[in-house]
Amino acid sequence: EPEVTQTPSHQVTQMGQEVILRCVPISNHLYFYWYRQILGQKVEFLVSFYNNEISEKSEIFDDQFSVERPDGSNFTLKIRSTKLEDSAMYFCASSERVGPYNEQFFGPGTRLTVL
């Protein structure tokens, strides 16, 4: 069964460092998403991406964040200068279509710890 994969599973970094979180969405999916979950809190939407452009982003997704699809398979989230409050679980998701009634498939997540 096709699945979304994410690497690394756990990333530890020093405050101020850049990190890149990687995702491989399901191959025939066209819409990609990043969500995050701070420990003990809700899963929150960060950004959606389609046709090599950001479709929508939340208030959390400020200038420190960027997304890219560098090739035909990977989808990355970059945080330029990490802060302590960026520590969270980051989930990538993908879907075949967009809009209501379209299942988003989630990856297993990358746990980011900023020291």
Partner 1 sequence: SQELEQSPQSLIVQEGKNLTINCTSSKTLYGLYWYKQKYGEGLIFLMMLQKGGEEKSHEKITAKLDEKKQQSSLHITASQPSHAGIYLCGADRNGKLIFGQGTTLQVKP
Among the listed residues 40, 43, 44, 80, the one whose alpha carbon sits nearest the alpha carbon of residue 62: 80
Q: Which is nearer to partner 1, 18 or 97 (CB)?
A: 97
Tokens of 21: 């979180």
Helix, strand, coil % over all residues of the chain, rounded to 5: 5, 50, 50
Closest distance of CB 13 from partner 1, Å: 18
Closest distance of CB 25 from partner 1, Å: 13
Q: Which is nearer to partner 1, 55 or 73 (CB)?
A: 55
Closest distance of CB 102 from partner 1, Å: 8
Binding residues vs partner 1 (CB under 8 A) = 31, 33, 35, 41-45, 48, 55-56, 58, 89, 91, 93, 98-109, 111
Q: What is the dihedral of CA 17, 111, 7, 80, to 10 degrees?
A: -20
